[in-house]
Chains A and B, each alone.
Chain A
């Protein structure tokens, strides 16, 4: 289609969440003209909220996914904040057949350090990336973050003269040129009215429309070709992963267990005590990456059973024990059966809606149980605490939060990934992606910090690319 108008910019950024603001941050003090398209408005609207409804199948249902990606200025980080924990080397290197990350932990650690302020934290929280992997259990706490105001106040973004923001611009899909190497147009809608704009070869596009939204754009059917633009790999939408969460039980623990860890020299503002199995043991025992966090149990009358256990072990070990709730946040393996597909029905913005399948596998569930049980044994053997492992809670009640990841993953080869190591879609010279959809594996922690780290890395890469061209 011959465009009657162009999005005339050096970089067209789609989305305003931390996934794209981290990219923009690296480019804002340059001469590059940046056009930012946000599908939602400055505040949440019913129209924008309706766009993320999907047909949800499996263990995450009842508009669960829709609550974790949003069409509003600031994206999901506007709505959610909270726990962050970095990935580790073990998550990146392709353990037990998992796909590898196309970068080293040293590089990721560098970007974790630089991006910590983007989630309102001190750079020293990146000291948590590397730990003593030979330990059976490592006290690796969650950092409890407050996302800075920049993700809800657009004035802070458009203070830079080279940035133009257009809200209520929902990107539907891309078109490609005849050579199939460049994106040359964008179909989008404003208040449901579908429009088209051309893209010049020199323009770079950064797609950051959410963990599910990125894949939704790349799955929309093309008008003049069989394969949707961006899904030349055939892998878009596959290996959807999330983070199973569940209370695993309760326990009386020595206050030492929940004391602030000092091994990493971190300047914490707020933190949540949590333990993980050391990488060497995870490999040896064929476990998934899981964390057990501890929070003080709600005050209330204890049962005779609880009083018995507390009194018995306080007397036996000669120390005071405090009641805590144990909570698992865990890795989910990449499984091609867990996926998104598009359906015939369109949303109000003119995009085909999603059908989402996401089911926990036996290994996902067993790893939670095994880790909880190992932690109970570890506390007991070291006279640090006594705890329960609640079978029904783990196997019947494991659920979200969602953190949709993995459905436009990056890698080292176009045979098994959608994007290259710089997050560029393999088939196109000017289309880049950022978000948790890039993650080949998910680790156990909230993805926000890693998204920010990858965003800064992508922004830096684009800056270097433009320098070369100039």
Chain B
């Protein structure tokens, strides 16, 4: 038997000593179980949906479906607005201001990091 096996054996024996009173105590508990076991766990019927809305769980899926439709509608409206604007007044490239240029540089540096 080497040193590692000795250590392993002593650790196991120590665990057996520590666990035995607990095990015997368990044996004394009646089969009906402790009274606390009959208390139902508290379950919150509401959930936090998306941006923190407190809603019942059953409303989650229909809300998500409706939101997907609304989001698509909004995106299409934005796209259509942009197209209309582009057709009615062709965009001219305005010269960039100093602050715009600075923003470009800062933006690039930020992206780099």
Contacts and interface: CB of A to CB of B under 8 A. Distances in A.
Interface of A: 249, 304-305, 307-309, 311-312, 316, 373, 376-377, 380, 386-391
Contacts, number: 49
Interface residues of B, number: 18
A389 B49 CA distance: 10
B54 A373 contact: yes
Given A304-B71, A312-B59, A380 B54 contact: yes
A376 B74 contact: no
Interface in B38-52: 46, 48, 50-52
B66 to A, nearest CB: 5
A309 B63 CA distance: 7
Contacts of B50: 305
Contacts of A373: 54
A387 B71 contact: no
Interface of B: 46, 48, 50-56, 59, 62-63, 66-67, 70-71, 73-74
A288 B73 CA distance: 44
Interface of A is mostly: helix
Contacts of B59: 312, 316
B46 A308 contact: no
Contact of B74 (A304, A387, A389, A391): A304
Contacts of A305: 50-51, 53, 67, 70
B87 to A, nearest CB: 23
B48 A389 contact: yes
Contacts of A312: 59, 62-63, 66
Contacts of A380: 46, 54-56
A311 B70 CA distance: 10
Contacts of B53: 305, 309, 386-388
Contacts of A304: 67, 70-71, 73-74
